């Protein structure tokens, strides 16, 4: 096995905002705190250690909640030890979060968690007097069912069809037998395939709701490495957050601060990932999770007949904090309030909206965590890499858009010169001379010269395209092999980690899959990883 690295920027799959963040562009300094390097973590530990929000009182409630959540789960000694360590003031968490995608959803779900585990190990080596616990935050309160109700397997969409409402974590697992039957059609009887089938059955056919099923699944895959899984849909944890819920209802602080930050980001040329609402809370009860809207001194629960006066909703918050659910704007603050967290690990889209939140955190006197882009991975067989080398395609080049890649390679391997750049430069020199002559004689000639220049350059462009097209036909075999190989590595013309399910790689690598990832991924290297196996 070999591990290769490519700068994220050179893959072409990451936004300008994320690339500039990784490059520590000074224009972004105001939108984040410490940078993800050893010096940054040293500063962040001190910041969090001194923070009033990270109190022993909070730690006790956190540990009690986790023990309750794990009460019906068989978990490893490493996880048990990590939960106990959370009582100690010298223990901090590294957190990643994700939706409750069926059977983990896309491959990058694994990379998030492996990045988190590996970072805790690296930080323990760098700061041996502190403890670091990897945490997976289950997004149990989300309600975007269409985003999580399927996974792809060998080009097939395996889907859980169900009429739903409310938070996805509370959904019962009825209907998963049908999903399993469909999935099984694509699996044989090898050891790896039997493991996959058994894992699916135990997770989704033996648990009553999606939260329990996901906890079981993730615990089976990562529990022995000490991963702690947390469900934020917890009354005791939300009770700690109640003062900030109250602020949101009465002061609308998140809307004010995030809007200000968003405008600043836009003013320096970046796109905004999320737009805040005036109240960034949902009301969560039974099978509903609906926005809270404030109009004419009344709090309305969207798409329902439920209403509250100011006094009534504050009383509801006091008695039932579990009925208030933070949206994407407030969830990070909730997480950082109840966890002794120093770093959040997420994808590019996640980090983009976190960068809108720092001013809100400062207003709420909450330390802003270090933001770390998760590891990204391309799996490449040794045979595929040999094919690339034979086709003279580098690892960086295989990330190019297919049309651009084919054009580049055809020009390189063609026996004739297809690039007319030299001819175009010569032609422009001649026309520059003609323009000087025109200026000395009659200014009205300039327009005619410019028109002729454009016509001649367009003609060269057309000839170049015709020649390139002809060479593609002549080199059809090489072109076809490049396309086939890239399509194998980039299904649906995108990163495989965004579409393929982990089960496809498990069938190839079996129980070595996660150890390979643990041995290959370096969270603080801040580069794309290619694993050749």
Can you name the residues that pair with 455 across neighbouring β-strands? Answer: none
* pLDDT 10s digits, 135-150: 999 999 999 999 999 9
* pLDDT 10s digits, 295-318: 999 999 999 999 999 999 999 999
Which of the four pLDDT bands, split at 50, 70 and 90, describes residue 57? low
Determine the Cα–Cα distance for residues 238 and 236; give it in Å rounded to an integer: 6
Burial 489-522 (b: 16+ CB within 10 A, else e): bbbeeebbbbbbbbbbbbbebeeebbebbeebbb
Burial 270-298 (b: 16+ CB within 10 A, else e): bebbbebbebbbbbbbeebbbbbebeeee
Which among 26, 1, 41, 76 has a CA at the least distance from the CA of 370? 41
Which among 37, 145, 83 has a CA at the least distance from the CA of 370? 37
Which pLDDT value is given to residue 311?
A: 98
Which pLDDT value is given to residue 452?
A: 78
* pLDDT 10s digits, 280-291: 999 999 999 999
Q: Which long-range contacts (CB under 8 A, 24 or more apart) does 458-461 make?
A: 460/420, 460/423, 460/424, 460/427, 461/420
Which pLDDT value is given to residue 49?
A: 85
Which pLDDT value is given to residue 136?
A: 98
Determine the Cα–Cα distance for residues 410 and 406; give it in Å rounded to an integer: 6
Which pLDDT value is given to residue 273?
A: 96
Backbone angles phi, psi at 205, to 5 degrees: -100, -10
Residue with tokens 């939706």: 99
Determine the Cα–Cα distance for residues 485 and 433; give it in Å rounded to an integer: 48
DSSP string, 177-232: HHHHHHHHTT--SSHHHHHHHHHHIIIIIS-SBHHHHHHHHHHHHHGGGT-EEEES
With pLDDT > 90 as the criterion, what percentage of the chain qualifies? 85
Which pLDDT value is given to residue 468?
A: 58
The residue count of the chain comes to 533
* pLDDT 10s digits, 194-233: 999 999 999 999 999 999 999 999 999 999 999 999 999 9
Determine the Cα–Cα distance for residues 340 and 37; give it in Å rounded to an integer: 19
114 conformational bin, left if phi > 0, alpha if psi -120 to 50, beta if neither: alpha
Which pLDDT value is given to residue 144?
A: 94
Backbone angles phi, psi at 152, to 5 degrees: -100, 140
From residue 355, how far is each of 99, 172, 280, 348 by CA, in Å? 20, 35, 17, 11
Q: What is the arithmetic mean of pLDDT over 102-109?
A: 98
Which pLDDT value is given to residue 463?
A: 65
Is residue 469 scored above 80 in pLDDT? Answer: no
């Amino acid at each position: 096995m070999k591990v290769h690295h490519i700068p994220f920027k050179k893959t072409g799959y990451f936004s300008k905002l994320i690339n500039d963040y990784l490059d520590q562009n000074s224009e972004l300094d105001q939108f984040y705190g410490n940078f993800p390097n050893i010096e940054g973590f040293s500063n962040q530990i001190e910041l969090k250690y001194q923070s009033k929000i990270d109190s022993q009182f909070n730690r006790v409630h956190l540990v009690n909640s986790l023990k309750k959540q794990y009460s019906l789960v068989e978990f490893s000694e490493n996880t048990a030890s990590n939960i106990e360590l959370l009582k100690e003031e010298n223990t901090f968490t590294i957190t990643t979060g994700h939706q409750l995608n069926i059977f983990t959803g896309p491959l990058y779900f694994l990379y998030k968690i492996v990045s988190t585990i590996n970072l805790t190990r690296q930080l323990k080596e760098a700061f041996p007097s502190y403890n670091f616990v990897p945490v997976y935050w289950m997004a149990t309160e989300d309600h975007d069912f269409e985003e999580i109700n399927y996974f792809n397997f060998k080009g097939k969409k395996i889907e859980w069809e169900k009429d739903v409402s409310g938070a996805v974590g509370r959904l019962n697992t009825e209907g998963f037998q049908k999903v399993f039957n469909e999935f099984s059609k694509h699996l044989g009887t090898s050891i790896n395939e039997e493991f996959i089938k058994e894992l699916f059955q135990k997770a989704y056919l033996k648990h009553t709701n999606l939260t329990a099923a996901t906890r079981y699944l993730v615990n089976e895959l990562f529990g022995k490495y000490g991963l702690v899984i947390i469900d934020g849909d917890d009354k005791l944890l939300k009770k700690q957050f109640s003062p900030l819920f109250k602020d949101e209802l009465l002061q609308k602080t998140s809307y004010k601060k995030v809007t200000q930050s968003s405008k600043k980001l836009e003013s320096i040329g970046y796109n905004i990932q999320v737009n805040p609402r005036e109240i960034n809370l949902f009301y969560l009860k039974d099978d509903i999770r609906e926005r809270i809207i404030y109009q004419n001194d009344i709090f309305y629960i969207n798409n329902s007949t439920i209403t509250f006066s100011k006094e009534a909703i504050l009383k509801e918050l006091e008695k039932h904090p579990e009925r208030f659910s933070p949206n994407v704007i407030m969830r990070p603050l909730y997480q950082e309030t109840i966890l002794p967290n120093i770093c959040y690990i997420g994808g590019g889209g996640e980090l983009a909206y976190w960068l809108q939140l720092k001013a809100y955190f400062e207003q709420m006197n909450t330390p802003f965590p270090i933001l770390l882009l998760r590891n990204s991975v391309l799996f490449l067989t040794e045979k595929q890499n040999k094919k690339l080398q034979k086709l003279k395609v580098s690892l960086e080049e295989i990330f190019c858009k297919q049309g651009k890649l084919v054009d580049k390679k055809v020009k390189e391997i063609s026996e004739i010169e297809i690039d007319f750049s030299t001819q175009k430069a010569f032609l422009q020199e001649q026309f520059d001379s003609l323009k000087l002559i025109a200026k000395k004689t009659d200014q009205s000639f300039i327009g005619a010269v410019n028109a002729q220049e454009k016509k001649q350059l367009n003609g060269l462009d057309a000839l170049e395209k015709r020649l390139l097209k002809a060479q593609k036909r002549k080199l059809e075999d090489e072109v076809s092999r490049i396309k086939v190989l890239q399509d194998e590595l980039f299904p649906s013309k995108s990163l495989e980690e965004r579409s393929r399910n982990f089960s496809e790689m498990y069938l190839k690598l079996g129980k070595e899959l996660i150890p390979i990832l643990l041995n290959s991924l370096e969270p603080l290297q801040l580069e794309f990883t290619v694993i050749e196996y």
